Structure 1
Amino acid sequence: LSFIDPLLRSDCWDVPRSSRGSPILKYACHGQKGNQHFALRWLQGVDVNPVMIKHVPSNTCLEGDVATMKIYLAPCDASVMAQHWHWDTIQWKKAKKHEKELHLEA
């Protein structure tokens, strides 16, 4: 797992409750992980798309519904395509360096 931590942003993904179906919201970063603690889970090897996005405390994953345009927590299941995410651009090396500096390595 590689933890998601905004490098230059003040807003973070947040969940109001750590249960199935809980919506993903944007909220001011508080830096204490918990309900804002997300990590990438690679499906085809490190640094390669697609990835799953895991909410660490609840051991659930982000799932998207194209029809409703909503993102919510669901039990992690690599066979569910709605849980596969593709990043246009990601700074893998910068993210790994940041993890190391914050002692967040998995």
Structure 2
Amino acid sequence: DFRFSFWEDIRPKGRNLCFDVAQNQPKASITLFACHGMKGNQHFKYQSKNKQLIHVLTSLCLDCDSSTGEELKLST
């Protein structure tokens, strides 16, 4: 289970790790890194209109293909 926190980051429930983007480009992998609460590479917004999670620095959305087991990444 994951949660979208007050700091606008995404965390596995009960852990102090956050989705983190090391490269600000399409197809960048999403990793778990210690939460720092300073937004930046861990800053996401939820767009309810199209039900997407957007990485604020890049304006790219989170994406994966669950049918192929593809890892979570940024996508246009």
Superposition TM-score, scaled by structure 1 size:
0.56
TM-aligned CA deviation for residue 8 of structure 1: 5.4
Question: What residue is the counterpart of 1:15 in the other structure?
Answer: 21
**1:68 equivalenced with 2:69 (yes/no):** yes
Query: Of Structure 1 and Structure 2, which has the larger fraction of its residues in strand?
Result: 2
Tell which structure's C-alpha radius of gyration is larger.
Answer: 1
Query: Of Structure 1 and Structure 2, which has the larger fraction of its residues in helix?
Result: 1
One-letter amino acid of the structure 2 residue matched with residue 19 of structure 1: Q
**Root mean square deviation, CA, Å:** 2.2
Question: What residue is the counterpart of 1:34 in the other structure?
Answer: 40
Question: What residue is the counterpart of 2:54 in the other structure?
Answer: 54
**Identity between Structure 1 and Structure 2 (%):** 31
The separation in 1 between residues aligned to 2:69 and 2:24, in whole angstroms, is 21
Query: Structure 1 unaligned runs (5+)?
Result: 45-50, 76-106
Q: How many residues align?
A: 68
Please tell me whether the aligned partners of residues 21 and 42 of structure 2 are also in contact (alpha carbons under 8 angstroms): yes
Deviations 1:37-93 (A, max 9, x none): 01111136xxxxxx2110001000001122133110011xxxxxxxxxxxxxxxxxx
Please tell me whether the aligned partners of residues 10 and 19 of structure 2 are also in contact (alpha carbons under 8 angstroms): no
Describe the SS at the equivalent of 1:65. Answer: coil
The separation in 2 between residues aligned to 1:26 and 1:54, in whole angstroms, is 17
TM-aligned CA deviation for residue 34 of structure 1: 0.5
